[in-house]
Amino acid sequence: MTLAPYKGIGDPKVHVTKFESMMFLNSDSDPILCRSFPTFLDRAALLWFFNLPAGSITNFDEFAKLFINHFAASKIYVQDSDYLSTIKQGQHEILKDYMTCFTTVAMKISDLNSEVQLHAIKNGLRPGKYQEAIAVAEPKTLEECRDKMTGQIEIKELREIRRNERQVFKKEEDKSHNKDSKKPFKLTPKFDSYTRFNTKREDILKEILHNKLIKPLSRAGSYQDQRYVDKSKQCAFHQKFGHTTGKCVIAKDLL
């Protein structure tokens, strides 16, 4: 049997009882009990012992009585199984944090009944999908309940990872799309060389359009995004900005 040092919080009478049980072979030896008991004190309790007046202890019963009376008020800080019923999952508290909080408190309660703990942890869940999942699973033991909750946490975390991955992918995709959309549009000519004319291609094209030998292209075409073009240049054939009629690749191909 092992006994944790008493630090000034908890039931002092329980600590004395456990100490006496552990030292039952020497229960008739006051000197041994009195010398051994301080080794199971720590922090506030050990400080109290060091501040006792010299010669104030004559036997262990007196020592134990002084100890219990001094730390009697510390008993109110001990949490029992009833306290577990007050632990509820917050409105915005994730399941993982709720389980951590509940388990931390439960570990401080001595001789905690597992059925009481199971009932409390289920009742503390916030109404919603997690509570419904536990209700459907109907765990019979605390271990089954914890396994189910751990599974729900893993599912939640996996969904969160996938959602973050989708968001990162979408951002990269949008970034790439925006980058491509801002690239200047550039047509490539169909031929390596073109017929030389004595008249400017621009004048020839204007004459062709004037005589309606070909139909001018619609202004609504998607030849080039007009937001990113040079407005000082205009094509009579396309009726848009960005390049001159003389440099128009499509017009050169037609002629």
Share of the chain above pLDDT 90, in %: 21
Same domain as 59, residue 19: yes
Domain assignment present for 2 = no
Domain assignment present for 196 = no
Same domain as 137, residue 173: yes
The residue written with tokens 């009481």 in the block is 116
Same domain as 70, residue 105: no
Question: What pLDDT, in 10s, does the model give residues 185-206?
Answer: 556 666 666 666 667 777 777 7
Same domain as 160, residue 176: yes
Same domain as 158, residue 112: yes
The per-residue pLDDT for 226 is 60
Same domain as 167, residue 104: yes
Q: Is 88 helix (H, G, I), strand (E, B) or coil?
A: coil
Summary mean pLDDT of the chain? 80
Contacts 24+ apart (CB under 8 A), 110-117: 110/14, 112/81, 113/81, 114/141, 114/142, 116/81, 116/84, 117/81, 117/84, 117/142
Question: What pLDDT, in 10s, does the model give residues 100-113?
Answer: 888 888 887 777 88
**Structural domain boundaries enclosing 235:** 201-254
